[in-house]
Structures are given as structure tokens and as C-alpha cells.
């Protein structure tokens, strides 16, 4: 269908969405839920939220140990392993499962179906959970996790009555994905993949960005922007959309939705925004990004690099102020001081610009950026923040369909790296790709744009080279949604041990 038919497709519901009819009770006190795949990051976070509302939780997963095991142990939950129909407690009232497990394959889900128990997938359960609070969805192709972490950090400092769910562990949440400080409001990172966010019930949405991604599900730009427009349209009358005025996709969605939803409150932020949240960038001083806002006196500082993180921070400020207003509170000088302090103290999240540490003069960072735009902005931010460091990037592309669709964009996105290492493409079970693009294809294309790039098929094939070549003053960044993060941690630990031995 031609691109100019996008609005028609949107208005007439071309993309129908089948919403689940099962209900998660508002009162969860002693409600018995069994979680299949409970060790997953999202599933553990949801478990924490359900327990905070009084639910009685059991769960199961694979025997492997994950960082979430410790969190579950603190909740008094010991996951049952391996999967077995005998794991399903007799008094179970509902089953929630990770999307990694299918109902016609997993023995516990088969048993639940046979007993006619209500079954919800994670995203469905999260949607039902959102019905029971005044909920805010953080959405966008980029920046969701960091924005959610930042707003949670701000609201925690303001002692605002809310629970927050991010897609990765946040340092300010005691290295968990959740922050629980009441149930009146609920702020959650909401994902566009397979229209999962349409299960969510927001009264406000933060929209950071829209561009082509998840090509296995959204083959065209118009298909992904249509999904975001549906999500915006799910806002109730006089709901609020806080959107990035610097992002072309977000602005296009606002223009197209406005004709049918003039009732919504549209709050822009960014350098191109009008109003209180227009940003003036002041540069980097003493490893702090400095910026000011049109509606606030003084300056704000961030200790995490990248101009994209300033945008995320301002989205967080806009939402925090909006929520204070929703509670009937006027913004005070003390509130603004708390916002400034909490933002400057924000130190990131797991796999989002995560600083592993420094060993033998080499700074190690791990980042989840797996889209050309995110790669480009992240590396530009690191270059500006660490101008005197030599930047070596180890990148592993995720899914063949995304790599093929954005091949030239990927090849051109590493200009701020002094050296680049590439690997085979990290596969995904959801990726139905039959083309010929491989990791070596990306390498050959990137060589046309970058003067110093190497290829190692397997991630750990690069270990020996990196241990011998990394030197004092370097910044080594593992980047992507693959498993190459293990390489960075291994080399960091190796160099740390060697450093300790020398010290002794």
C-alpha cells in the first residue's frame, strides 16, 4: 500500500489488534499466580510488582543461574527446575508466562490449559496491571530504558507515590528493574515490537523516537509509525503526549494524530521545541553535560555522556512535573533542586552505557545500541565526553533482517570509533530471513567507510588480539544486542587480575 495511504490505514484500523479478555484482579491480596520463565528480566520485575500488591507467587525456569536468582531469593521465591507439569501448584489461580515459552510446547502451560486456568503472556499481564493505576507508558525506538530509569530516579527523590518498571537494571533502583514507592501511579517502559504496547493502558505517554526497526515485523516505515499512532490513540480524552520535537518520526506521528485527537495535550521537548522544555546545550565541563531549559532558571547537569541522554533527561523532567501537577502540587524551588540533584547523580543502567570499570588504564563500557541511529549518537556522545581517549568498538549485529535492511546505515554509523571489530550476526528465533547478508557482508561494506576495521567470526576469537592491543588511555566499548558483552567483561576481569598481581 502506498505511503500516502498511511492515515487511511490508521483511521480505519487496518492493523486490528486482538486484546486479551482475561482479567488480572485489582485486588491481588493472596491471589495465587504461577510464573513460567520467572528468571527473565521482565518476568522477575513483574513478579516484584505483583508481590508488592500482595500476590502469592510461585515460578519455574531453567536450572541456569542468572542475576535475577538473587532478587527472587530476596522475595522468598525459589524457582522450580526443570519445567514439569508437576511444578504447577494445585491452588494456582492464574498463570503468566514469558514469550520465550509457547503454550502448546511448555509442559506447565499445557497443564494449565488442560485445567482451564487463565493464562497471560508477560506483555498481556503488564497491560492488565496498568489498568489498576494511573499509568504512563515510555515508548520509542530509542531511549526507553534510560528515560524510564531517569524519571524513576527523579520521582524517587520526590517521594512520589508510584511504581516504575524499566527494561534493564537501573543503578538508582538498587540495580533492579523496578522501583516501588506506592501504587497510585505506574510508569513502565512499553515496547513496540509486535505491538506489545497496545496491551498497556496509559493516561500519559512519553514518545522519544520513531524510525524503521524490527524489520521482521515492521517491513516498512509506515507499518511501524502506524503502530505508534495506534498507541497514541489509546490515550483517554485529554490524555497527554510528551514527545521529542527533535525527532522527525515523533513529530510526524503527532501531525497525523492531531487531526483526529485534538483533545490530547501535546507537550514537546528538545532543541526545536517551543515552551518550557526547549533545550539549550551548554557543552561538556568536567565530565558533566550541561544544559538549560526555557522554563527553568539555572542549569542542569548529567554525568552520563551523549546528547541523546540530555533529551531523555528532559523528557523525564517534563513527565515528573506533569505528574506533580496531576496530584495538584505546584513545582517548588526545592522540587527543582531535587530534580537537578537526582539527574546529576543518575549513573545509567545495565547494558546502557554501563561503565564496567578501568583496568590498566583502559576504560571498559558496555552498551545495548543495536540500531545505526543509536550507534551513531552513542559513539558521538562518548567522543565528546572522552575527547582524549582512543575508542575501540566491538559490535555484534542483531538479526539478519535488520542488518540487511539497514546495511549501508550500519556501515556508516561508526565514524566516531577509532577502531572497529565486527563478528557474525547474532541470530534470533523470531527472525525469518532467507537472504545472503552475513556478518562478513557488513564487514566488507563497513571497510568502504572506515579506515580501521577487523573481522572475527566468533566473539572470543578477538580476545587474544584485544588483550595484547588495548593500552592505557583506550576506551573499549562492547556494543549491540548480541552476546559480545561477555567479551568485554572477560577482558576487563583479565586485565583487573593482572593489575592486582602487579600491585602485589
- pLDDT tens-digit profile of 391-437? 999 999 998 988 999 999 999 999 999 999 999 998 876 677 778 89
DSSP character at residue 330: P
* Residue 349 confidence (pLDDT): 66
DSSP SS3 for 269:
strand
Q: What is the pLDDT of residue 373?
A: 87
Q: What pLDDT shows up at residue 297?
A: 94
Q: Could you tell me the pLDDT band of residue 498, with boundaries at 50, 70 and 90?
A: confident
pLDDT of residue 74: 94
Kindly state the average pLDDT of the residues 225-243: 97
**Cell numbers that stand for 87 in this block:** 511444578
* Weakest mean pLDDT among 18-22, 82-86, 143-147: 18-22
Report whether pLDDT(8) > 50.
no
Pick the closest to residue 58 from 85, 41, 36 (CA basis).
36
Please, are residues 69 and 92 in contact by the beta-carbon 8 Å criterion?
no
The tens digit of pLDDT for each residue in 91-110 reads 999 999 998 899 999 999 99
Query: What is the architecture of the domain spanning 354-503?
Result: Alpha-Beta Complex (3.90)
Q: For 188-205, what is each residue's pLDDT tens digit?
A: 999 998 899 999 999 999
DSSP state of 350: T
Alpha helices in 90-247 (DSSP H): 107-114, 122-130, 144-157, 221-233
**What pLDDT, on the 0 to 100 scale, is given for residue 168?**
82
Q: What is the pLDDT, as a whole number, of residue 448?
A: 93
Three-state SS letters, 356-367 = EEEECCEEEEEE
Tens-place pLDDT, residues 52-83 = 999 999 999 999 888 899 999 999 999 999 99
Q: Residue 499: its pLDDT value, please?
A: 61
CATH homologous superfamily, domain 133-345? Mur-like, catalytic domain (3.40.1190.10)
Q: 32-121: what fold?
A: Rossmann fold (3.40.50)
Share of the chain above pLDDT 70, in %: 93
Q: Which pLDDT belongs to residue 183?
A: 93
What gap in Å lies between CA 198 and CA 265, rounded to an integer? 20
Could you give phi then psi for residue 171, rounded to 5 degrees? -60, -40
Residue ranges per domain, the chain?
Answer: 32-121, 133-345, 354-503
| Per-residue pLDDT tens over the stretch 294-347 | 999 999 999 888 888 999 999 999 999 999 999 999 899 999 999 999 999 887
Q: Is the pTM of this model over 0.85?
A: no
Residue 327, C-alpha cell as written in the block: 496530584
pLDDT at 21: 66
At 350, the pLDDT band (50, 70, 90 cuts) reads: low
- Of the candidates 247, 204, 240, the one whose C-alpha atom is nearest the C-alpha of residue 225 is 247
Q: Is the pLDDT of residue 85 over 60?
A: yes
pLDDT digits (tens, 9 = 90+) for 218-227: 889 999 999 9
Please state, rounded to an integer, the average pLDDT across all residues of the chain.
Answer: 90
Amino acid at each position: 500500500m502506498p505511503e500516502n495511504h498511511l492515515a487511511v490505514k490508521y483511521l480505519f484500523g487496518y492493523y486490528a489488534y486482538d486484546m486479551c479478555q482475561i482479567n488480572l484482579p485489582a485486588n491481588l491480596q493472596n491471589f495465587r499466580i504461577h510464573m513460567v520463565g520467572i528468571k527473565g528480566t521482565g518476568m522477575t520485575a513483574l513478579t516484584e510488582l505483583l508481590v508488592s500488591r500482595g500476590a502469592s507467587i510461585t515460578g519455574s525456569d531453567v536450572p541456569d543461574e542468572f542475576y535475577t536468582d538473587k532478587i527472587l531469593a530476596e522475595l522468598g521465591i525459589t524457582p522450580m527446575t526443570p519445567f514439569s507439569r508437576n511444578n504447577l501448584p494445585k491452588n494456582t489461580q492464574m498463570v503468566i508466562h514469558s514469550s520465550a515459552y509457547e503454550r502448546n510446547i511448555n509442559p506447565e502451560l499445557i497443564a494449565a490449559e488442560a485445567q482451564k486456568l487463565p493464562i497471560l503472556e508477560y506483555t498481556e499481564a503488564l497491560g492488565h496491571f496498568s489498568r489498576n493505576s494511573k499509568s504512563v507508558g515510555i515508548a520509542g525506538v530509542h531511549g526507553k530504558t534510560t528515560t524510564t530509569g531517569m524519571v524513576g530516579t527523579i520521582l524517587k527523590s520526590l517521594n512520589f507515590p508510584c511504581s516504575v518498571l524499566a527494561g534493564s537494571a537501573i543503578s538508582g533502583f538498587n540495580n533492579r528493574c523496578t522501583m516501588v514507592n506506592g501504587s497510585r501511579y505506574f510508569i513502565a517502559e512499553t515496547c513496540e515490537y509486535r505491538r506489545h504496547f497496545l496491551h498497556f493502558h496509559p493516561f500519559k505517554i512519553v514518545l522519544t523516537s520513531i524510525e524503521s526497526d524490527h524489520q521482521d515485523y515492521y517491513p516498512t516505515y509506515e507499518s511501524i509509525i502506524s503502530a505508534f499512532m495506534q498507541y497514541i490513540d489509546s490515550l483517554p480524552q485529554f490524555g497527554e503526549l510528551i514527545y521529542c520535537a527533535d525527532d522527525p518520526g515523533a513529530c510526524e506521528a503527532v501531525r497525523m494524530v492531531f487531526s483526529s485527537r485534538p483533545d490530547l495535550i501535546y507537550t514537546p521537548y528538545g532543541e526545536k521545541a517551543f515552551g518550557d522544555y526547549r533545550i539549550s546545550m551548554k557543552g561538556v565541563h568536567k565530565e558533566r553535560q550541561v544544559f538549560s531549559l526555557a522554563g527553568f532558571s539555572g542549569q542542569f547537569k548529567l554525568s552520563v555522556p551523549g546528547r541523546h541522554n540530555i533529551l531523555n533527561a528532559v523528557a523525564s523532567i517534563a513527565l515528573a512535573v506533569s505528574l506533580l501537577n496531576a496530584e495538584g502540587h505546584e513545582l517548588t524551588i526545592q522540587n527543582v533542586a531535587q530534580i537537578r540533584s537526582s539527574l546529576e547523580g543518575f549513573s545509567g543502567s545495565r547494558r546502557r552505557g554501563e561503565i564496567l570499570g578501568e583496568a590498566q588504564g583502559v576504560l571498559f563500557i558496555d552498551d545495548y545500541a543495536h540500531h545505526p541511529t543509536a550507534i551513531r549518537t552513542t559513539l558521538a556522545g562518548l567522543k565528546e565526553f572522552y575527547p582524549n581517549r582512543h575508542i575501540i568498538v566491538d559490535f555484534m549485529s542483531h538479526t539478519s533482517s535488520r542488518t540487511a535492511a539497514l546495511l549501508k546505515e550500519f556501515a556508516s554509523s561508526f565514524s566516531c570509533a577509532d577502531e572497529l571489530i565486527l563478528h557474525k550476526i547474532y541470530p534470533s528465533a523470531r527472525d525469518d530471513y532467507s537472504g545472503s547478508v552475513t556478518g562478513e557482508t557488513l564487514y566488507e561494506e563497513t571497510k568502504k567507510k572506515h579506515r580501521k576495521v577487523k573481522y572475527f567470526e566468533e566473539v572470543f576469537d578477538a580476545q587474544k588480539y584485544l588483550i595484547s592491543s588495548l593500552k592505557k588511555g583506550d576506551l573499549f566499548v562492547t556494543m549491540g544486542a548480541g552476546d559480545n558483552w561477555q567479551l568485554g567483561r572477560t577482558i576487563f576481569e583479565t586485565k583487573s587480575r593482572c593489575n592486582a598481581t602487579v600491585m602485589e
